[in-house]
């Protein structure tokens, strides 16, 4: 996902919509893990 982020930020003119769709559909585990970590932090007593 870091490489994808860099592509979006630095080379947005080279983005292929079909590749974006493929990356999103095949990397949801990363996003779900990230959201779970955020949810766990929010539930903690800081």
- pLDDT attached to residue 6: 74
How many C-beta atoms surround the C-beta of residue 30 within 10 A? 13
Q: Give the structural domain span for 23.
A: 2-43
Better-scored residue on pLDDT, 6 or 46:
6
Q: How far apart are CA 24 and CA 18, in angstroms?
A: 10
Sorted by sequence, the CB contacts under 8 Å of residue 31 that are 6+ apart come out as 1
**Tens digit of each residue's pLDDT (9 = 90 or more) over 6-44:** 777 777 677 788 888 888 888 788 888 888 999 998 886
Copy the structure tokens of residue 34. Answer: 């990230």
- pLDDT attached to residue 25: 86
Model confidence at 46, pLDDT cuts 50, 70, 90, reads low
**Into how many domains does the chain fold?**
1
């Amino acid at each position: 996902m870091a490489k994808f982020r860099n592509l979006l930020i630095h080379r947005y003119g080279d983005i292929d919509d079909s590749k974006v769709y493929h990356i999103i559909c095949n990397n949801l585990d990363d996003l779900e893990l990230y959201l779970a970590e955020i949810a766990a932090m929010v539930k903690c007593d800081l």
